[in-house]
Amino acid sequence: MYKRIIPCLDVKDGRVVKGINFKNLKDAGDPIELAKVYSHEGADELIFLDISASYEKRKTTIDTIKKIAQNITIPFIVGGGISNISDIEMFLDAGADKVSIGTAALKNPNLIKEASLKYGKNRIVIGIDAKRKNKTTWEVYVCGGRAGAGINAIDWAKQVEALGAGEILLTSMDNDGKKEGYDIDLVKSISEAVTIPVIASGGAGKLEDFRDAFIKGGANAALAASLFHYGLLRIRDVKEYLSDQGVEVKL
């Protein structure tokens, strides 16, 4: 099975932004233009996250989602502010191939089961933002990383799989934006705890980090944002490197 490289558009007020540990956000460009570039460059999928939607209780910009969907030829995951089935339907109707649910799934775990039964598990991604508590434990955070949920990330990953999630988008809050590498211990712990695909997110800084996420962490996909937005690495370069390292990717 091919390992996937996924650029992520963190969107706030209609612009792509990037920060460190979910804070100090800086502008990184126009979401529609960046989406076109990544689709053309050979990204395997694209993720669009309205990073302030859950907190500010507003919906992701539907018009932007529609325009992106019309301009790309790769699978498209949308998240941010999803609180019920009608939100999911709205995003899928707007052109999303999958939806990513975070805060709402913790508040109402039955939403995972309901969505999975209605749309198929392959369209339901559960976002888990995790912060390290000690060497082997991570706590789940909600509302764009603003509040601890008091739940063990490994336990929650197992639960979302049992409820019908098709995939997990796993973000290390400790490593996010630092470009010092993914939290491989976290990625490995979650990947070994579930059988569904895990997308590693938070901390990519160099080519070797992608290799480690796959070979050491057991991830099925690796997400990066600022590395790609600011041209520090190209998707093609990452894939060619991984192929040379024996990781099976779609060139």
What CATH number is associated with residue 110?
3.20.20.70
CA pair distance 50, 92, nearest whole angstrom: 15
Secondary structure letter of residue 174 according to DSSP: T
> Does residue 58 fall inside a structural domain?
yes
The percent helix, strand, coil of the chain (3-state, each to 5) is 40, 30, 30
> Does residue 137 fall inside a structural domain?
yes
Q: Is the dihedral of CA 227, 59, 4, 31 positive or negative?
A: negative
Secondary structure letter of residue 122 according to DSSP: G
Which residue range is the domain that position 97 belongs to?
Answer: 4-244
List Cβ neighbours of 34 (8 Å cut-off, separation of 6 or more). Answer: 7, 9, 16, 28, 229
Given a contact cutoff of 8 angstroms between Cβ atoms, the answer to whether 5 and 240 are in contact is no
Residue with tokens 């190209």: 234
> Does residue 232 fall inside a structural domain?
yes
The catalytic site residues sit at 10, 129
Enumerate the H helices of 23-126 as residue ranges.
Answer: 31-41, 53-56, 62-71, 85-94, 103-107, 110-119
Each residue's pLDDT, cut to its tens digit, for the chain (251 residues) gives 899 999 999 888 888 887 666 566 777 789 999 999 999 999 999 999 887 665 554 555 788 999 999 999 999 999 988 999 999 999 999 999 999 999 999 999 999 999 999 999 999 999 999 999 999 999 999 877 778 899 999 999 999 999 999 999 999 999 988 899 999 999 999 999 999 999 999 999 999 999 999 999 999 999 999 899 989 999 999 999 999 999 999 99
Tokens of residue 178, six digits = 């630092």
> Does residue 250 fall inside a structural domain?
no
Q: Is the dihedral of CA 134, 138, 141, 144 positive or negative?
A: positive
Tokens of residue 203, six digits = 């901390």
Given a contact cutoff of 8 angstroms between Cβ atoms, the answer to whether 50 and 82 are in contact is no
Chain segment 55-94, per-residue pLDDT in tens: 554 555 788 999 999 999 999 999 988 999 999 999 999 9
Is 246 in a helix, a strand, or coil?
coil
**Count of domains for the chain:** 1
Given a contact cutoff of 8 angstroms between Cβ atoms, the answer to whether 73 and 42 are in contact is no
φ and ψ at residue 27, rounded to 5 degrees: -65, 140
> Does residue 251 fall inside a structural domain?
no
Enumerate the β-bridge partners of residue 100: 79, 125
pTM of the model: 0.94
